[in-house]
């Protein structure tokens, strides 16, 4: 049988309202707290959740945020309702919800913070996204580490021997050269090429969030809740490069986008996908439901599919038994995958139909 939500029908939700988001301290102040432990949120759509909260508070609100478990208030705020349901029924503690009554736009505060980080980071000169291929076959020069003399055509020093040394006093790098009047160029007489000093890695705009994301795509996808600070330490340990918190935060988003692609574009193809199934598999069943978001846009709710060939194969060659099963989707897009399965003549699992929903409940099973 299908798995039920982890902690039963009820979870503990702390609703924070009549307060304001404080940008300076990044907190929610002057609010009222109420804990609900007898409400079945899993059966509510987003619009039903909004109606429930507004009736309780007796006032209108602009947006809701919840704080993801095991994350700080600054990094854990998330406005996605489907993620809230998934995390609420996946934790044993209290999950906090914060009401934005005036529409302050907390979503943009992270970007502003990232810009501030970059402005004060001495190791970052720019944030332009360069082509990663440009990093290949690049000869990095450390001109700031070498003291050299001014060379012009009228400089009398060009006719003498001179020494080129490292700016770090204890470094052993030395180069002696002499001016060759016949050939009108310098000839290296002696060279100690080894540097024993620490070089200053200032790559500027070469080290972008895209470069970081491309190198750590596998780690980020396998551990999507990796903290920004931990990712920053990984970059420092592996490459010896200091990057900003803002770069690492954008690198996580970039890496997930590389794997998942543009989610808006992908979900926009569901209608075409459904029509193509019906065209190429006459008799199949496809159902796609949408729901209205608080911004007036349409959002994905659930998708159901049953191929005619699979349905007919179950009728003609399988036992008259149907089992129901489901599992959580742990990718970028949260939700649950529900399946109707049977047993074939070889006593193997035979998938009859499947559906993707935001949460498992009686209404979605119908």
Q: What is the mean pLDDT of residues 184-212?
A: 74
Rounded-to-integer distance, Cα 80 and Cα 15, Å: 16
In this predicted structure, the answer to whether residue 281 has a pLDDT above a threshold of 90 is: yes
In this predicted structure, the answer to whether residue 135 has a pLDDT above a threshold of 70 is: no
| Per-residue confidence (pLDDT) for residue 140, from 0 to 100 | 39
> pLDDT band at residue 119, thresholds of 50, 70 and 90?
very low
Residues 78-100 have pLDDT tens digits of: 888 888 888 888 888 899 999 98
Q: What is the mean pLDDT of residues 129-148?
A: 43
Of 15-24, 43-52, 118-127, 219-228, least confident by mean pLDDT is 118-127
> pLDDT band at residue 284, thresholds of 50, 70 and 90?
very high
Most confident of 59-63, 113-117, 181-185: 59-63
| Per-residue confidence (pLDDT) for residue 352, from 0 to 100 | 92
Strand intervals (E) in 125-243: 146-147, 162-166, 174-180, 185-192
25 versus 108: the higher-pLDDT residue is 25
> pLDDT band at residue 239, thresholds of 50, 70 and 90?
confident
With residues binned 3-state (H G I as helix, E B as strand, rest as coil), the percentages for the chain, rounded to 5, are 35, 25, 40
**Strands 174-180 and 185-192, bridge-based pairing:** antiparallel
Q: What is the mean pLDDT of residues 179-183?
A: 76
| Per-residue confidence (pLDDT) for residue 121, from 0 to 100 | 45
Q: What's phi and psi for 51, nearest 5 deg?
A: -60, -40
> pLDDT band at residue 172, thresholds of 50, 70 and 90?
confident
Rounded-to-integer distance, Cα 93 and Cα 80, Å: 19
In this predicted structure, the answer to whether residue 286 has a pLDDT above a threshold of 90 is: yes
Residues 49-60 have pLDDT tens digits of: 888 888 888 877
Q: Which two tokens stand for residue 92?
A: 């044993």
> pLDDT band at residue 109, thresholds of 50, 70 and 90?
low
In this predicted structure, the answer to whether residue 142 has a pLDDT above a threshold of 50 is: no
C-alpha gyration radius of the chain: 30
| Per-residue confidence (pLDDT) for residue 166, from 0 to 100 | 79
pTM: 0.38
Task: Collect contacts of 256-261 with beta carbons under 8 A, ≥24 apart.
Answer: 256/220, 256/221, 256/224, 256/332, 258/213, 258/214, 258/217, 259/217, 259/221, 259/332, 260/331, 260/332, 260/333
- DSSP classification of residue 344: -
Residues 310-339 have pLDDT tens digits of: 999 999 989 888 998 889 887 767 889 999
Q: How is the beta sheet containing 146-147 ordered, strand by strand?
A: 146-147, 162-166, 174-180, 185-192
In this predicted structure, the answer to whether residue 203 has a pLDDT above a threshold of 90 is: no
| Per-residue confidence (pLDDT) for residue 236, from 0 to 100 | 87
């Amino acid at each position: 049988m299908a798995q039920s939500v982890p902690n039963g029908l009820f979870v503990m939700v702390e609703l924070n309202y009549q307060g304001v988001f404080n940008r300076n301290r990044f907190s929610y102040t002057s609010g009222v707290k109420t804990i609900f432990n007898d409400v079945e949120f899993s059966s509510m759509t987003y619009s039903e959740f909004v109606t429930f909260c507004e009736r309780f508070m007796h006032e209108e609100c602009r947006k809701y945020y919840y704080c993801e478990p095991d994350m700080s208030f600054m990094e854990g705020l998330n406005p996605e309702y489907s993620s809230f349901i998934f995390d609420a029924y996946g934790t044993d503690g209290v999950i906090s919800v914060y009401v934005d009554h005036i529409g302050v736009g907390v979503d943009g505060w992270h970007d502003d913070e990232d810009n501030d980080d970059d402005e004060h980071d001495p190791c970052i000169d720019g944030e332009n996204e360069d082509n990663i291929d440009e990093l290949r076959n690049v000869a990095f020069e450390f001109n700031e580490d070498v003291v050299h003399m001014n060379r012009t055509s009228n400089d009398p020093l060009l006719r003498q021997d001179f020494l080129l040394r490292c700016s770090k006093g204890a470094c052993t790098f030395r180069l002696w050269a002499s001016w060759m009047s016949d050939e009108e160029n310098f000839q290296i007489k002696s060279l100690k090429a080894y540097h024993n000093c620490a070089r200053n890695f200032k790559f500027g705009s070469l080290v972008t969030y895209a470069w970081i994301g491309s190198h750590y795509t596998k780690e980020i996808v396998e551990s999507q809740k990796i903290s920004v600070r931990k990712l920053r330490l990984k970059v420092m340990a592996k490459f010896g490069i200091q990057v900003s918190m803002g770069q690492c935060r954008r690198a996580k988003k970039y890496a997930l986008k590389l794997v998942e692609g543009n989610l808006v574009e992908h979900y926009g193809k569901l209608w075409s996908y459904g029509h193509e199934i019906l065209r190429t598999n006459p008799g199949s069943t496809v159902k796609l439901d949408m729901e209205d978001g608080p911004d007036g846009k349409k959002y994905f709710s659930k998708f159901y599919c049953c191929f005619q060939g699979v349905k007919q194969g179950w009728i003609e060659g399988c036992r008259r038994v149907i089992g129901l099963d489901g599992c959580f989707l742990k990718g970028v897009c949260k939700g649950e995958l529900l399946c109707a399965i049977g047993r074939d003549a070889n006593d193997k699992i035979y998938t009859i139909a499947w559906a993707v929903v935001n949460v498992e409940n009686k209404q979605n099973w119908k």
